[in-house]
Structures are given as C-alpha cells and as structure tokens.
C-alpha cells in the first residue's frame, strides 16, 4: 500500500509455530497440528533451521521405534563450593541433578579452604534408528550434545 506495507496471504493456523520458533529457537507443536503444514510455511519463509528440524521429526516418525527402556548416562563432576551454584544452574537441557557428595573437609581453617564436592548428574537416552538420542532433543531439536562445564581434566 501507500505506507510500504506488504500483505502476505498465508494460512494463519501454521504461523504460530513459525513465530514461536523465531522467538525462542524451539519447535513446539500442538498434537493435532500437521507438521507438513508448518513445513510448507517454513519453506515459504525460507527458514532453513526450522525446515531441517521438521524434516528430521518427520523422518523419525517414518521409522518405528521399539519399546526399549531408556539408558541412563551419569556424569560425576568435581567442584569447589563457590562453583557449585553456577554449575548446577548452567546444566544443559535434559541433564538432571542426582546427588551431591562432600569430599573435602567440613572444617574451614582459613579463608582459602573451601569444601570440595562431587556432583552426580544424569540424563536419559533413548534408542532410535539413528543411534542414541535424548528425549528433550527429540522434542525440541535445539542442542544435540549436552554442554556441561568442564571442572576437571579428562582421565
């Protein structure tokens, strides 16, 4: 029109998931929403990352998933008392705090002595045709590998 605005005549039903993906970087669909419709809109707007996520989800549905119980992966992280809050608050999607074990002395003889802890975290991994994947990454397809802070060198 005279103000320079454009009219895009597309289906508003599928625009909500597109807009939310652009806002949050995650694809969330109602159970009754057709992925094909959202894919069509993503292709129209040329949103490459969203197109890949939807196509991956559609491929996963093409392969029957057997009822295999999830595998539990555990990590043990060593940290000082001052690092504990930051480490727990920055755990990636899917990682869950399990246990905290105090391995240092409970006595503080000076300002430099800090309690030392082992923090046990876990994640459930599910078998799929393409190897192991986490439930949260299958739902959101945001981060394929967990990123936890490295607090001690690998052995």
Q: In a 3-state reduction of DSSP, which class is residue 24?
A: helix
Per-residue b or e along 1-32, where b marks 16 or more CB atoms closer than 10 Å to that residue's CB: eeeeeeeeeeeeebeebbeebeeeeebebeee
Q: Are 139 and 120 within 8 A, CB to CB?
A: no
Domain boundaries along the sequence of the chain: 12-62, 71-140
> In terms of Cα–Cα distance, which of 80, 84, 83 is closest to 97?
84
- The pLDDT tens digits of the residues spanning 63-120 come to 765 667 778 899 898 888 888 888 877 777 788 889 988 887 656 666 666 788 888 9
Determine the Cα–Cα distance for residues 17 and 146; give it in Å rounded to an integer: 25
> Does residue 42 contact residue 33 with C-beta atoms inside 8 Å?
no
Q: Do domains 12-62 and 71-140 have the same CATH topology?
A: no
Are the C-beta atoms of 126 and 134 separated by less than 8 Å?
A: yes
Domain 12-62 class, CATH top level: alpha beta
Q: In the CATH scheme, what is the code of domain 71-140?
A: 3.30.70.2000
pLDDT of residue 11: 81
Bigger pLDDT: 34 or 11? 34
């Amino acid at each position: 029109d005279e103000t320079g605005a454009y009219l895009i005549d597309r289906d508003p039903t599928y625009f909500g998931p597109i807009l939310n993906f652009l806002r949050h970087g995650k694809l969330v669909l109602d159970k009754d929403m057709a992925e094909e419709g959202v894919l069509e809109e993503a292709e129209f707007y040329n949103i490459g990352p969203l197109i890949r996520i939807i196509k991956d989800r559609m491929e996963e549905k093409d392969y029957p998933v057997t009822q295999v119980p999830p595998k539990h992966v555990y990590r043990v992280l060593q940290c000082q008392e001052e690092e504990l809050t930051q480490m727990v608050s920055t755990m990636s999607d899917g990682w869950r705090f399990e246990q905290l074990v105090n391995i240092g002395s409970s006595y503080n003889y000076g300002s430099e002595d800090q309690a030392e802890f082992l923090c046990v975290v876990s994640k459930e991994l599910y078998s799929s045709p393409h190897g192991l994947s986490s439930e949260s990454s299958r739902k959101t397809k945001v981060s394929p590998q967990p990123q936890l802070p490295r607090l001690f060198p690998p052995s």
